[in-house]
Amino acid sequence: MNLIFLGPPGAGKGTQAEAIINEFKIPQVSTGDIIRAAIRTESDLGKEFKSYTDAGKLVPDELVNRMVEARLGEDDCKTGFLLDGFPRTVAQAEALDGMLDKMGRKLDHVLLLEVADEVLVERITGRRSDPDTGRVYHVTFDPPPADIAARLIQRSDDTEEVLTSRLAEYHGKTAPLIPYYEKAALLRRVDGVGSKDEIRARAFGILGR
């Protein structure tokens, strides 16, 4: 199963991705996670990435495309993958089409998780993650157990200010992927408002589970 998860920041792609990868036994390829890992190494490339992420801007296509091509070539992606946060521009989608052609593979579905901007602000600013396990919580909607609450951290780009810029990037550069994949008859819309279980059931229904 070769899947793309599309949707604005805070739509719940990461949360729903977990259920999908467990069900289909495919790896989640999150460009945001790959970029954050590079930033933690404090390499020159990591520093360059940070200048974009902290401003809520997209990292240049060529850099991201190369990382994704390398990742999709790894062994665990042979059975399929769930791309989370990639592609984010039409140029990235075209590059992905080229990569898949070369590998003799095809996309099965592009899931679009739909959530209105007003809802995203509350979701994003309340988001906290556990540095030990990577698990993401929400202070109101998915509160962490009391014994680990103190160690949780907030992503530096999960502030209202940076989110404004991330949403502008989404609407300007990523939303054109909606007609792109609609034309390819791959787009499946999923209402992203509701409980975690309700949204998972909608996504699984589309994926035939």
Selected binder of ligand AMP within 71, 88, 127, 200 (CB under 6 A) = 88
User: Measured between alpha carbons, how far apart are the two ends of the chain, in Å?
Assistant: 13
Q: Which stretch binds ligand AMP (CB under 6 A): 82-90, 100-108, 124-132, 143-151?
A: 82-90
And the tokens for 113? 């998780």
Give least dist CB 114 to ligand AMP, A.
Answer: 16
Is the peptide bond preceding residue 87 cis, with omega within 30 degrees of 0?
yes
Q: Does 53 bind ligand AMP (CB under 6 A)?
A: yes
Q: Does 69 bind ligand AMP (CB under 6 A)?
A: no
Task: Please give the residue whose beta carbon sits closest to ligand AMP in the complex.
Answer: 32
Taking Cα atoms as reference points, which of 15, 56, 49, 54 lies closest to residue 171? 56
Give least dist CB 70 to ligand AMP, A.
Answer: 14
Taking Cα atoms as reference points, which of 115, 27, 120, 109 lies closest to residue 74? 27
Residues with a catalytic annotation lie at 13, 88, 127, 155, 166
Q: Does 7 bind ligand AMP (CB under 6 A)?
A: no
Cβ count near 156 (within 10 Å):
12
Total of chain residues touching ligand AMP, rule CB under 6 A: 17
